[in-house]
Amino acid sequence: MRHALTVFILVPLLEMFILIKVGSFIGAIPTIFLVILTAVIGISLLKREGLATFSRLQQKLSLGEIPDTELIEGIMLMVGGALLLTPGFITDTIGFSCLLPRYRKPIAVWLVRKVTTHNLKTRNQGDKTTIIEGEYYKDN
């Protein structure tokens, strides 16, 4: 909790500092234009990538597969879109890394593997193994 509060305080301060520095270097109007431009590009990228991810999710579901990576990518797209709407260059950098498939897909695959391995470790702790047997009947 302490780290979240620190980030919540430090990121806006860093964003203001960078915006002031960039504004003093290129001017206030071009800086504002850059912030608006990144938001507009981010929204269009979010729409395109969101539709592509949703399409892959539906395809996996129709094949009976678990769309684990696509779900993580969807969460990353939402976070990236929110970060791109937040004014600032640090949040824009993180937001674009969540939206661009080149960066998003490897991160999503890594997260799925990490969560899956963690679940396997916690499930297999101890010497006890639970086996559930049964039969399934479908009524017509």
What's the whole-number average pLDDT of the chain? Answer: 86
> What's the Cα-to-Cα distance from 55 to each of 77, 100, 103, rounded to whole Å?
14, 17, 19
pLDDT tens per residue, range 46-79: 999 999 999 999 999 999 988 888 999 999 999 9
pLDDT tens for 85-134 read 888 999 999 999 999 999 998 998 888 888 877 665 555 555 566 666 77
Report the pLDDT value the prediction gives residue 54, as an integer from 0 to 100: 93
pLDDT in tens, 13-46: 999 999 999 999 999 999 999 999 999 999 999 9
